[in-house]
Amino acid sequence: MLQRFSVSLDEDLLARFDEYVRDNGYGNRSEAVRDLIRKGLVRQEWERNSQVIGVVTLVYDHHRPQLQERVTELQHNYYNIITSTTHVHMDHHNCLEVTIVKGRAAEVQELAQGLIALRGVKDGSLTMSSTGGKLR
């Protein structure tokens, strides 16, 4: 069943979109929007399945009860995609832990989000690189 929804666009973007609709031979805007949505979804799926190498950086206070154990436990849940972990004692309280991960983008992001979301983590980030190859 077809569903309708309305979209708000500024004039310039709409003018460019109409040009795109004409240039690509679409009969109307709806056809073009459908195609663009499909392409976006396929691309997202491709990105999630693509092979990446990621670096997860965490800064946390090791005095925080249970935190060190939770970090280790989570890393063990993903042991098959973790290449290495480096721990640096920054000062009396703070630790820097860098985890290098290699695997499917979706899995790498899952692990990074889990680590960064742990209570007591002061700073966390994920950097991903890809050679553009597809894992499956």
Q: Which residues bind Ni ion (CB under 5 A)?
A: 62, 89, 95
Measured CA to CA, the distance from residue 53 to residue 99 in angstroms comes to 11
- 29-49 and 11-23 helices cross at what angle (nearest 10)? 90
Q: What is the CA radius of gyration of the chain?
A: 22
Task: Quote the least distance from Cβ 66 to Ni ion, whole Å.
Answer: 15
Q: Which residue is nearest to Ni ion (CB)?
A: 95
DSSP three-state, residue 14 = helix
Strand ranges of the sheet holding 94-104, from the earlier edge strand across to the other edge? 82-89, 94-104, 50-61, 121-134
Task: Quote the least distance from Cβ 68 to Ni ion, whole Å.
Answer: 8
CA 52 to chain centre: 11
Task: Quote the least distance from Cβ 71 to Ni ion, whole Å.
Answer: 11
Task: Quote the least distance from Cβ 109 to Ni ion, whole Å.
Answer: 25
